[in-house]
Amino acid sequence: MRPFEIKFDFPVASSDLKISLKATAEFHHSEPYFAVHNFYLADSTKNNGYPSVLPDQEIKRIRRNDGWVWVHKDSGKESELSVAIGKGIESIVARDELDTL
């Protein structure tokens, strides 16, 4: 699977505000997870000289309580960010394909 662009809405803590972001997701096969990097505002152009608005993230999809959740690879914990990024990945990668990863 080649790197691909995702778009997602990231909720700002303790508010109703959401920021639309885009990033590059790349699947790693050794231990199935996605490395996500180059976070930019959805209406901006990549590589416009500004640094990524978020640090690189590594997330994975795991089965929990008879369902699937998106968690951070290092901690195994779910967050608003991991869920938002996961939804962005799910909007690009078919669920049946995700189920086989």
- pLDDT tens figures, 9-23: 998 887 889 999 999
Measured CA to CA, the distance from residue 1 to residue 22 in angstroms comes to 18
The whole-number average pLDDT for the span 54-60 is 96
pLDDT-based confidence at 30, cuts 50/70/90? confident
In the predicted model, what is the mean pLDDT of the chain? 90
Q: What is the DSSP string of 7-50?
A: EEEEEPTTSS-EEEEEEEEEEETTTTEEEEEEEEETTS-TTSSP
pTM: 0.88
Of 43-47, 56-60, 72-76, 94-98, the range with the lowest mean pLDDT is: 43-47
- With a CB cutoff of 8 Å and minimum separation 6, the contacts of 63 are none
Q: So what's the pLDDT on residue 29?
A: 83
Of 49, 65, 51, 54, the residue nearest 88 (C-alpha):
54
- pLDDT tens figures, 68-99: 999 999 999 999 999 999 999 999 998 888 88
Sequence ranges of the domains in the chain: 4-99
**What is the largest distance, in Å, between two alpha-carbon atoms of the chain?**
44
CB count, 10 Å around CB of 62?
Answer: 15
